[in-house]
Amino acid sequence: MKVLVTGGAGFIGSNLVKKLLMQGDEVFVLDNFLSGYKQNLSNVCGARLVEGDIRNSDLLDKLMTNVEIIYHLAASVGNKRSIDNPFLDADINVRGTLCLLEAARKHRVKKIIVSSSAGIFGELKTLPIREEHPIEPRTPYASSKLYAEKIALSYADLYGIEAVCLRYFNVYGPHQRFDAYGNVIPIFVFKMLRGETLEIFGDGEQTRDFVNVHDVVQANIKAAMTKGLCGSFNIASGIQITINQLVHDLSVASGMKLMTEHKEPRPGDVRDSLADITAAKKAFDFNPGISLQQGLKEYFAWAKSALEEAIA
């Protein structure tokens, strides 16, 4: 089966590409390397890598021939980046998704799996959060992901493309690098490896629902393989953990004593997060199986190796 993975050199995308190749798919990767890295695919044989942008309609037309499934992960990612540059978020995440969907329509692609975000919910009013929870995005990034969902589902209604939107909660795992716009686990781990103090915004009792990238890959493939499936689904572990507990678990996983410093809460951050993943379990047998402790050990080992390679 010929599939296209946009953002396939990124964190989640590269893990997905590896799994798709293992199951025998013909995989094309489209990435502009805004947040992806070629080295994420350096040990992956068989994928056809195309450097380009999802906003390039002519390029998309060339790539789309005989594609059956699109895994759409290309995006400008992160709340802080979107606050710094909201126009870029809208241009890539909204207009880029529209360009991709239009190319898919022209070439009669059967299915698209859209990577969305739990950030679309905003401040949570009830826990655990279900798909029907009120949607009140608090940042340009979250708003752009919501519009990407709506565009994809409108194409499903109008043109018959099966569209599945996966609302990721806090994803972590191998190939997730640290930068100023990253998530808390890579930020903490790379600071740990450099002997730096971990900054906790607020009292540390805020909660998150962390899900391992291998479980996210499973969700993408199972959703793609389920015929007739359309709609939006939460993708998470269904387990709530405080940031203070995360620091403790990181200390155990690494065997390191950690230094922490509390700072003022950041704008745009939600206080608590916990997903209800019942809908995904029922619709396509989503079953997250990697514990946080197991996942943190794997991620710490990967990050240590990645940092050593960068220094060498």
Q: How far, CA to CA in Å, does 160 sit from each of 106, 108, 145, 163? A: 12, 9, 21, 9
Amino acid at site 258: L
Say if residues 305 and 239 touch (Cβ distance below 8 Å).
no
Coil, strand, or helix at residue 146? Answer: helix
> What's the CA angle centered on 65, arms 61 and 69, to 5 degrees?
100
Is 159 an active-site residue? no
Coil, strand, or helix at residue 168? Answer: strand
What does the CA dihedral 237, 242, 248, 252 come to, rounded to 10 degrees? 0
> What's the CA angle centered on 286, arms 281 and 292, to 5 degrees?
115
Cα–Cα distance for residue pair 69/28, rounded to 1 Å: 11
Q: How far, CA to CA in Å, does 287 sit from each of 160, 216, 218? A: 28, 10, 8
Given the residues 37, 71, 141, 299, the one annotated as active site? 141
Q: Which residues are catalytic?
A: 141
